[in-house]
């Protein structure tokens, strides 16, 4: 176990650095894409379509990217993701330069390739880890997002008005970040999956996997946690600026949110080991509900900060808990098909949330405040769904869970 975890720790360090450097592009894009889309879109209801396109790109590439990694290894898959991120930023920059909303949306679609690849960092952390180290490995990799939470919004402040075309400098910076990722992944050492041999166990089919109670609940909670986080975060810069605050305030709110997403990762794994994964997932859902309540209580800057930070912590507990539960019941020969299917479902939910966010925010009431209320009210039925799934799991006989 010691030798195995020595390799796992090395890989975790590489993945933490990758999360910190490459991951900065996501808070950068989430901060400005809706604002830039608002200036380019022919209709304000479509302002968040570039973010939705990014999530669609992630959803569409999750399964093929997982299959590619199963054949060629994690390093090749992650480098492919950086190329997608660089291409997406380049197309987005061209869209800004030419004033083309269509090109800007297409750029978001390609950026989704990077977003999908980043989603597999947490699974890669578990590949070489022992059962005891796995929750901490996943948490530490997620904690790498802390630096990206600081770097990303700060880069937005420096670059968003650095050129005549607003936000163009930000997208050019994203291209550079992606190319840095190639050098980081050269240090990753995760053995390629062994080629299947005749007679080797293939594991459960996709239908058998998704009908396994613990897997089904893990997928539901991961989907709800990520989708609701995206639903609210996508609209938050529009709400902050629409309520009379500055773009720098929106960047600070996003920075606080992303810090809250990743800061708990330093101890989430230890909490899971001590109290059990189901309890941590349940606490995450409660915190997500609290985020909605705080957001609906007012539109002062403090409300935005508090709501978005609670949203980040709730996502962390729910998503890391669900990932830990999933990796604990999936066999090595099932990883490729299950991880791809999991992220396809998760980002399918995130896609719907992202599409809904812009419509709810801009087209569901007569004011910014009414739209922001609608966004946060939409969280309720999905929290009930995920909470009900966890309660159902708790009451299942233990021998019926695997």
Domains and CATH numbers, the chain: 2-190+205-400 (1.20.1250.20)
pLDDT value for 398: 64
Q: What is the mean pLDDT of residues 135-163?
A: 83
pLDDT tens-digit map of 150-168? 888 889 888 888 888 989 9
Straight-line distance from the first to the last Cα atom of the chain, in angstroms, rounded to the nearest whole number: 25
pLDDT in tens, 198-248: 556 677 888 888 889 999 999 999 999 999 998 998 889 889 998 989 888
DSSP alpha helices (H): ranges in 73-202? 74-98, 101-119, 121-127, 134-143, 145-159, 168-185
With residue 147 as reference, give the H or E element that holds it. helix 145-159
Q: How confident is the model over 323-353, as pLDDT tens digits?
A: 889 888 888 778 778 877 888 888 888 888 8
SS3 percent helix, strand, coil of the chain, rounded to 5, is 80, 0, 20
Please identify which residue in the block is written with the tokens 């790498």: 144
Radius of gyration of the chain (CA): 20
Say what the pLDDT of residue 399 is. 54
pLDDT digits (tens, 9 = 90+) for 285-313: 999 999 999 999 999 999 999 999 999 99
Quote the CA–CA distance of 351 and 53 in Å, as a whole number: 8
Separation of alpha carbons 51 and 358, rounded Å: 10
- Average pLDDT of the chain to the nearest whole number: 87
> In which region does residue 203 sit, left (phi positive, over 0), alpha (psi from -120 to 50) or beta (all else)?
left
Which letter does DSSP use for residue 191 in this model?
P
pLDDT at 317: 96
Q: Answer whether 139's CB lies under 8 Å from 328's CB.
A: no
- Residue reference for tokens 């050098």: 183
Cα 273 to Cα 275: distance, rounded to the nearest angstrom: 6
pLDDT category at 193 given cuts 50, 70, 90 is low
Q: Report, as an integer, the average pLDDT of 65-92.
A: 93
Please report the pLDDT score of residue 330 as a whole number.
84
Q: Output the six-digit token pair for 59.
A: 């959803």
CA–CA separation, 103 vs 118, rounded Å? 23
Phi, psi (5° rounding) for residue 163? Answer: -125, 170
The reported pLDDT for the residue numbered 1 is 46
Per-residue pLDDT, 197: 60
Q: Are 128 and 8 in contact (CB under 8 A)?
A: yes
Distance CA 355, CA 57 (A): 13
Please determine, for residue 68, whether its predicted confidence score (pLDDT) is greater than 50: yes
CA dihedral defined by 22, 9, 132, 276, rounded to 10 degrees? -30
């Amino acid at each position: 176990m010691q030798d195995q975890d020595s390799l796992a720790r090395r890989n975790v360090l590489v993945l933490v650095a990758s999360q910190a450097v490459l991951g900065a592009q996501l808070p950068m894009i989430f901060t400005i894409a809706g604002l830039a889309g608002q200036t380019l879109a022919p209709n304000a209801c479509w302002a968040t379509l570039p973010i939705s396109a990014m999530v669609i790109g992630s959803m569409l590439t999750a399964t093929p990217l997982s299959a590619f990694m199963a054949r060629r290894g994690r390093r090749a898959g992650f480098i492919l993701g950086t190329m997608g991120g660089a291409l997406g930023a380049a197309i987005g920059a061209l869209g800004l330069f030419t004033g083309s909303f269509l090109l800007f949306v297409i750029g978001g679609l390609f950026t989704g390739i990077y977003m999908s690849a980043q989603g597999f960092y947490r699974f890669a952390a578990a590949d070489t880890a022992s059962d005891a180290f796995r929750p901490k490995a996943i948490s530490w990799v997620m904690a790498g997002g802390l630096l990206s939470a600081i770097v990303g919004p700060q880069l937005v402040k420096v670059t968003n008005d650095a050129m005549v075309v607003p936000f163009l400098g930000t997208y050019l910076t994203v291209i550079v970040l992606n190319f840095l990722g190639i050098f980081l992944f050269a240090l990753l050492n995760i053995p390629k999956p062994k080629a299947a041999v005749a007679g080797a166990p293939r594991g459960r089919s996709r239908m058998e996997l998704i009908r396994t109670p613990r897997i089904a609940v893990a997928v539901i909670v991961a989907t709800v946690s990520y989708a609701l986080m995206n639903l609210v975060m996508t609209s938050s810069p529009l709400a902050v600026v629409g309520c009379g605050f500055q773009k720098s305030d929106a960047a600070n709110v996003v920075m606080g949110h992303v810090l809250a997403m990743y800061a708990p990762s330093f101890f989430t794994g230890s909490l899971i080991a001590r109290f059990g994964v189901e309890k941590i997932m349940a606490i995450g859902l409660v915190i997500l509900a609290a985020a909605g309540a705080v957001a609906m209580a007012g539109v002062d800057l403090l409300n935005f900060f508090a709501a978005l930070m609670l949203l980040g912590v709730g996502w962390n507990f729910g998503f890391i808990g669900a990932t830990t539960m999933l990796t604990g019941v999936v066999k090595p020969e099932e990883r490729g098909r299950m991880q791809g299917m999991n992220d396809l479902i998760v980002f399918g939910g995130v896609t719907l949330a992202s599409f809904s966010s812009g419509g709810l925010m801009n087209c569901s009431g007569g004011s910014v405040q009414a739209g922001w209320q609608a966004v946060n009210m939409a969280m309720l039925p999905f929290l009930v769904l995920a909470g009900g799934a966890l309660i159902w799991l708790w009451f299942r006989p233990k021998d019926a869970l695997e």
